[in-house]
Amino acid sequence: MMKLKNFKPHLVVAIATGLFLFNSCTENLKDDFDLDKAKEVFDETFPIKNVDPNHDWKTTQKKTINVRSYGDVGETYRITVFDSNPLDTKASANMLIHGYVSNSLVLNTPFDCPTIQKSVFVMRTDSKNRSIVKHVLVDDNITNVTFGAPQVASRANTRTDDVVIETQEAPFSLDELNTAMANAIELTEGVILEPSSVYKISAGTTFTSYIQSWKVGSNRTKILVYGKWEYPTKQSSGNSGYLGIEAGVDICIMPGGELAVPTDSEMKFNNSSRLVNYPNGKISGDCIYLANGSSNIMNYNVGDITLKQLHIDTNGYLYNCSTMNVEYLNFQNNAILTNQGKLIIDHSSEHCVVRNNCYFIADVFSGHLVLGKNSAAEFNKYNQRLSGGDWGRTLTMSSNSMLTVKEDAMWSGATFTGPSNGYALIKTGKVLGANSFSHSGNIYYEVEEFGFDLNDPYNDARYIAGIEFSKWGEAPLAIPAGDCTGEGNTPGDGGDEIEYKPMTYTYAFEDNYPNMGDYDMNDLVIDVAIDYELNPTTNKPKRTLLNVTIKAVGATKQLGAGLRIIRKNLNHPYAEYGIMSLNGLTINDLFIAPSYFNSFESMSTYPTFGLFGNAHYLLGQDTSKMLNTGLVKVDDKEVTKLTVYIWHENRDDVELFTKDDLDVFIGYKGTGTKRTEVHLYEFSQYGSTPNGETHDNIAAAAGNKTWALCIPNFRYPREYVSIKDAYPMFEGWAQDRNTNQDWYLHPIESKVYN
């Protein structure tokens, strides 16, 4: 019996001299079949008008992925490809394919990919269950993915591409200055400095005045501070402008000496003046302003500096190889601070350039950063200013360097460059954005959270494609602890193995073929998830597993389902290609019952076997009921799940099956001896199986209209609800297959079955 729905008289077709129902005339439609008339009827009755003539109704595509890995010698890594980020606990990632790689083993395999999927997530997992993920675009048919990097052989092992951060000496040696001190003039209030002279503030004395240096010019004069210089405020100097050190004056804070700048004041070094702080020298207070960049002057610190603000003008330069603690680094264009010691700041300007060769700590850093080999930087926030981040920031990292951002990082507009030989490491809390982010070189990224949708290829996600990211503690880069690396980095053991489920593809059928029913696509709904058991040394399949679940039966007649394998090389000589189905496989009289091996119903051209013969029976119900479509609900515990194994043992020439190889179809009793079959349109070129009938003349009249769909994780319509009503974008996709391809993600909730 046909499904008891709203039967419409116009489904009766007048062909030639008689009236026939398509499903009752198929044995006799030969000489008197009017193809043109049948086409007109199909065009009139099909729920969608103006169907795209090139439509194949596919929502997936076959892709190829090529994965290679450079890692530990002797280590075999598991590779798993997902449709979304497997490290995101809020997401539910589906496995698309898996395999194995090593330094000598490459994974090259086809896999099924939803058409709307513009990127995939490739995860490499080691023997300690530590995983690294790459977000990869899949615009091309072949996607190449590489983990790690080969070690670059170099002449005499001396070649390196690490950034070289120069080591520099103080402009004057302590011996030189201590010798000059013997003839130095004691600095007194109101003195006018003479050129080519040496002045001093003796130990145990405090100087509280400003100086006049207008006579010095190009004939350099030095001031040696052994005592304490309490720089005057603007008000106490009587000078309404900024107090400044003029051209040609070198201020040298000697061991035990101190320079103090009062609150709300600024000590400015103009033109070719210079500041040098020696071991055990101390500079503290409000603001030091180095405005001597135009003279290519190097300011130097090997003592202690504690300031509210360090202001360096355009092209200015400060070299630090001791301890600096500054609240605000206020740099102009091309101003540079080279750090060979320990630099601690609260925040920075966007123009700040820090070349760090040791240890750098900041609350918020928003400038440009270079990290030398075996150096580290640790921030609470990166590029996170009140304006929402600064574009054009650069980060250049050498091998074994490490940047840790404990909280938020803004990558938008930034450029990260890693080494080409060896790796660097970035550990960050939440990545707020990555719009126009650019990256190159070898950097591992440990990320706790991405603040944007990694599955949206049109937003920030596309800019992070290709980075290697992991959970905190799982990047395979060991960095020893030390003065310049802090706690360093010790890769931990991985956590629990990430559980994954293969992508589920929902097969939704109309059973009225060749008539048009209500097109709710729920007469039989089957979920199929494909998995594989592989040889880890070759990536060749040992067996294919099909996990089959009957989701709904919206018909009131016996329906069965079968599988035809579209592989000609699986013909009869290969008897080891058997199938085994678990959990109460029942075939009845629609299919030939399988045995353990050599169990195909037919080996003619393409192997065919039955999945089940009575869907109602497997759900514990009789054929009078419509199940799981909104009328009668079957408890999930009662739903029978089938596991079908297709064996490939002892065969080295077999590629993995994809959906393009697996023709899942339904069958039901027709008027003749053969069952009537409904196949996906993409398999229509293969016709029916030897024990079935698809009525070729009627199929020709129907053209590319379809009675079956296969959709990733599909929520099918409720009973009597046409798919075009449940999914408003479906009709647009049917009329143009290149548009509305994500139609199945946008249902009307009240019209689909949950």
Higher pLDDT, 142 or 509: 509
Q: Are residues 121 and 270 in the same domain?
A: no
The domain of 669 spans 503-720
Q: Are residues 633 and 728 in the same domain?
A: no
The closest alpha carbon to 454, from 475, 428, 434, 440, belongs to 434
749 phi and psi, to 5 degrees?
-55, -40
DSSP string, 215-270: TTTTS-EEEEESSEEEPPPHHHHT-SS--EE-TTEEEEE-TT-EEEEEEEEEEEEE
pLDDT of residue 573: 30
pLDDT of residue 278: 98
Q: Residue 115 has what DSSP assignment?
A: T
Torsion-angle region of residue 82: left (phi > 0), alpha (psi -120 to 50) or beta?
Answer: beta
Q: Are residues 692 and 744 in the same domain?
A: no
**Would you say residue 607 lies in a domain?**
yes
**Would you say residue 332 lies in a domain?**
yes
**Would you say residue 234 lies in a domain?**
yes
Mean pLDDT of the chain, nearest integer = 86
**Would you say residue 275 lies in a domain?**
yes
pLDDT of residue 373: 96
**Would you say residue 613 lies in a domain?**
yes
Q: Are residues 714 and 753 in the same domain?
A: no
Q: Are residues 259 and 125 in the same domain?
A: no
**Would you say residue 233 lies in a domain?**
yes
Give pLDDT tens digits for 60-112.
Answer: 999 999 999 998 888 999 999 999 999 988 878 999 999 999 999 999 999 99
Q: Is the CA virtual torsion 314, 316, 320, 325 positive or negative?
A: negative
Q: Which of 323, 339, 355 is the last residue of a domain?
A: 339
The closest alpha carbon to 336, from 421, 265, 418, 394, belongs to 394
Domain total of the chain: 4
Residue 210 banded pLDDT, cuts 50, 70, 90: confident
DSSP string, 580-629: EE-S----TTTSPPP-SSS--SB-SSS-EEEEES-HHHHTT--TTS-BSS
For the record, the structure tokens of 653 come out as: 């020439």
**Share above pLDDT 90 across residues of the chain, in percent, rounded to a whole number:** 62
Q: Residue 640: what residue type?
A: T
Q: Can you tell me the mean pLDDT for 278-284?
A: 98
**Would you say residue 662 lies in a domain?**
yes
Q: Are residues 585 and 549 in the same domain?
A: yes
Give pLDDT tens digits for 147-183.
Answer: 998 865 544 444 457 889 989 999 999 999 999 999 9
pTM attached to this predicted model: 0.85
698 phi and psi, to 5 degrees?
-70, -40
Q: Are residues 660 and 581 in the same domain?
A: yes
Q: Are residues 525 and 571 in the same domain?
A: yes
Q: Are residues 713 and 727 in the same domain?
A: no
Burial of 190 from C-beta contacts in 10 A (0-12 / 13-18 / 19+) = exposed
Q: Are residues 591 and 657 in the same domain?
A: yes
pLDDT of residue 646: 76
Q: Which of 472, 501, 530 is the last residue of a domain?
A: 501
**Would you say residue 446 lies in a domain?**
no
Q: Residue 211: what residue type?
A: I
Higher pLDDT, 639 or 718: 718
HSE-up (13 A, CA, CB side) for residue 515: 23
Q: Residue 600: pLDDT above 50?
A: yes
- The Cα–Cα gap between 418 and 439 comes to 8
Q: The domain that contains 91 carries what CATH number?
A: 2.60.40.10
Q: Which of 437, 470, 501 is the last residue of a domain?
A: 501
Q: Are residues 693 and 707 in the same domain?
A: yes
Q: Are residues 273 and 143 in the same domain?
A: no
